[in-house]
């Protein structure tokens, strides 16, 4: 006995029938780039740690704050090596 509501032929419902001949490639690409959106794909193990994109953004902002704070602590943030004074051994 067949479950109620199943069609005889097994075809998809009409609302799921899509006419691919009318599709436009890259239809929203310009709007996406204009808005400055950026898509990043996380590895599965990292994605498990975050429930939403807001959680990822919060974690990255915290990391940036820590990075800024630690950069100021070292004092050598210019990236240039310090000059050594000539030692006078008399």
Domain range list for the chain:
39-72
pLDDT in tens, 22-31: 888 888 888 7
- pTM comes to 0.42
Please tell me the distance from the alpha carbon of residue 90 to that of residue 84, in angstroms, as a whole number.
18
Give CA angle at 45 (67, 54), nearest 5°: 55
pLDDT in tens, 1-26: 556 655 555 677 888 888 888 888 88
Average pLDDT (30-36) is: 76
73, two tokens: 């602590």
CA-based R_g, the chain, Å: 29
Element (H, E) at 65: helix 53-74
- Cβ proximity of 64 and 78 under 8 Å: no
Please tell me the distance from the alpha carbon of residue 42 to that of residue 56, in angstroms, as a whole number.
10
Please tell me the distance from the alpha carbon of residue 59 to that of residue 50, in angstroms, as a whole number.
9
């Amino acid at each position: 006995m067949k479950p109620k509501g199943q069609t005889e032929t097994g075809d998809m419902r009409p609302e799921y029938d899509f006419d691919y001949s009318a599709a436009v490639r890259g239809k929203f690409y310009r709007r996406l780039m204009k808005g400055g959106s950026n898509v990043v794909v996380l590895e599965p193990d990292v994605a498990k740690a975050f429930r939403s994109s807001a959680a990822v953004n919060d974690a990255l902002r915290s990391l940036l704050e820590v990075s800024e704070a630690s950069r100021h602590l070292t004092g050598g943030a210019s990236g240039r090596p310090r000059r050594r004074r000539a030692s006078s051994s008399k």
